[in-house]
Amino acid sequence: MSSRFVSLEVKDAVGTIRLDRPPMNALDIAMQDQLKEVAEEAGAPKDVRAVILWGGEKLFAAGADIKEMQRMSYTDMVERAGALQGSFDAVARIPKPVVAAVTGYALGGGCELTLCADIRIAADNAKLGQPEILLGLIPGAGGTQRLSRLVGPAKAKDLIFTGRQVRADEALRIGLVDQVVPADEVYPTAYAWASRLAAGPAYALRAAKEAVDRGLETDLETGLSLERQLFAGLFATEDREIGMRSFVEEGPGKAKFR
């Protein structure tokens, strides 16, 4: 039986996807496949309302397993590249709020995995980057696409062309992370964010995520059409009834969603 390097732990409607392959959480093929399985597991049940990506107290993930990749030929990677991207896509498609709690290194595939989250909370000791160019490669798990959409093409090209690592303060300045806190506060801060949203209207949060993410992939007119459909669809949900009734009777921000 193969070892488990990725697990899902659920507490009070918050699911934590835990990366655990010491010493560096190197994302080998087994870990990639497990990541896809766990992401789909987190996306399905109603008892999980928000998700945290967590590599542990010391680091998030230092990248792919280079020794494993070194043995792969062109044809090997032609066959594997789709599954590699698919494992990260599964995380990006989780239809719930997702936060990456980043400590230590988040490099290469580790950085690409943080890009699949909705927000990124980083430790003040975190270092992020896409160093694939130093191996004669480019990012292959979504980095060229998600990074440029997040920080803009010029900053993305700087990081990808040079392969340099950025510290937490620069990452915050360029928009690569959204908040920087002391290392021992990263997971609690991420949990507080996820816990607050876990108590929110699940279908509205799902619709909001889909509208933003899919809207970025298309033109404005198509995005507005998608928003219109999702907006109207929420009028069929119990959460909409609860939210509006609470607003009218009690004022804003007091609804208790089921």
CATH number at 235 reads 1.10.12.10
Enumerate the β-bridge partners of residue 98.
51
Q: What is the DSSP string of 183-241?
A: GGGHHHHHHHHHHHHHTS-HHHHHHHHHHHHHHTTS-HHHHHHHHHHHHHHGGGSHHHH
**Is 257 domain-assigned?**
no
What is the reported pLDDT for 45? 78
Same domain? For 211 and 185 the reply is: no
Catalytic residue among 132, 210, 238, 241: 132
Same domain? For 121 and 61 the reply is: yes
- Cα separation, 91 vs 249, whole angstroms: 38
Residue where a domain stops, chosen among 198, 218, 242: 198
CATH number at 63 reads 3.90.226.10
Residue where a domain stops, chosen among 198, 218, 235: 198
Same domain? For 162 and 209 the reply is: no
2 pLDDT band, cuts 50/70/90, is low
For the chain, the domain total comes to 2
Catalytic residue among 9, 40, 79, 112: 112
Same domain? For 246 and 121 the reply is: no
User: Quick one: CA dihedral 10, 12, 14, 19, positive or negative?
Assistant: negative
Q: Is 132 among the catalytic positions?
A: yes
What is the reported pLDDT for 1? 41
123-151: per-residue pLDDT in tens?
999 999 999 999 999 999 999 999 999 99
Same domain? For 173 and 237 the reply is: no
Neighbours of 35 (CB within 10 A): 25
What pTM, to 2 d.p., does this model score? 0.94
* Residue 218, domain extent: 202-250
Residue where a domain stops, chosen among 158, 173, 198: 198
Same domain? For 156 and 103 the reply is: yes
